[in-house]
Structure 1
Amino acid sequence: MPILLFISVFTLLDFVVLFSVGSHIGLLTTLLLVLLTGFVGLHLIRREGVSALARARARLQAGELPSSELFTGAALIFGGALLMAPGFLSDALGLACLLPSARRLLLGGLSWLGLKATVASQASAYHPHSRPDRPEQSASHDAGEPTTIEGEFISRDDPRHRR
């Protein structure tokens, strides 16, 4: 419920600022500014998205979990959605999500709240090389070698094992 209240208040404030600025600088200038911020945002999404994807692929090929690249991708999507919404507050927040230095500040804030650690620990459960405490990751085990699991195979057709 608090998130819906925040979204409602943010949207209302965004429209109030948009109409206030529009009444001072004119309708055409306001529309041009909103369109310009949208195009700038699309350009930044394309440029930053391609570089984030390249970094994520490099980390995956190195056997690492690309957690910061996943956060970057989420911030780009969120920022792009905000830039498509008409309004100056949403444009400002959207551009902040697209700028690398602002994303680092946002990531630092999330880390301070403990959210990054939670996400990283949940994601590492699906990536065996990112958790050294896993039993298959011993000191003598080389990360480049496949893990051998010993076991016993019992065929259903074996008459000794029929019920």
Structure 2
Amino acid sequence: MPILIFISLFTLVDFVLLFSIGSQIGLLTTLLLVLVTGFIGLHLIRKEGVSTLARARQRMQAGEIPSQELFTGAALIFGGALLLAPGFLSDALGIACLLPNARQLMFKALAWLGLKNVSGQQQQTRYQQDESSRSNGHEGPIEGEFISRDETARRR
């Protein structure tokens, strides 16, 4: 419920700000500014999204969890949605979500608020995960039998 109240108040303040600035600078200038911020946001989303996807792929190939990249992707989506909404306050927050330094500040603020492990403080590689899963009582070699492909072909 508190988030709904926050969203309602944010939208109300955004529209009041849009209309008050619009009455000062004129309708055409206001529309032009809203469109320009939207295009800037779309350009930043494309640029940052491609680099974030590349970093996430690199980390996954290295066997790491791309948690920072997931946070970045979520911020890009949120920022893009804010840029689609008309208003100067939502545009400012949307562009802030798209700028790397501003995202880092938001990430630190979320961590300060107590949202732990958003960045995966202790990330494990696949090898470390395998080693930690082996220590759950199944130590030592695993016994079993195998048949090589050559033997299978000879038996037929």
Q: Which band: TM-score by shorter chain?
A: 0.7 to 0.9
Point out 4+ residue stretches in structure 1 off by more than 3 angstroms. Answer: 118-121, 127-133, 148-152
**Residue number in structure 1 paired with 2:102:** 102
**5 Å matches for 1:31-110?**
31-110=31-110
> How many residue pairs were aligned?
140
Percent identity over the alignment is: 69
TM-score by length of 1: 0.77
- Cα offset, 1:130, TM superposition: 6.1
Cα RMSD for the two superposed structures: 2.7
Mapped contact 1:38–1:84 kept (Cα < 8 A): yes
- Distance in 1 between residues matched to 2:52 and 2:119, nearest whole Å: 18
Alignment-derived partner of residue 8 in structure 2: 8
Alpha-carbon shift at residue 129 of structure 1 (Å): 4.7
Does the CA-based 8 Å contact 1:75-1:103 persist in structure 2? yes
Distance 1:39 1:73, change over 3 A: same
TM-score of the pair, normalised by structure 2: 0.80
- Deviation string 1:62-97 (CA, Å, 9 cap, x unpaired) is 111010000000000000000000000000000000
What letter is aligned with 2:132?
A: R
How far the C-alpha of 1:116 sits from its partner, in A, is 3.7
Q: Are the equivalent residues in 2 in contact too, given 1:64–1:129 (CA < 8 A)?
A: no
CA distance in 2, matches of 1:130, 1:72: 25
* Counterpart in the other structure of 2:133: 135
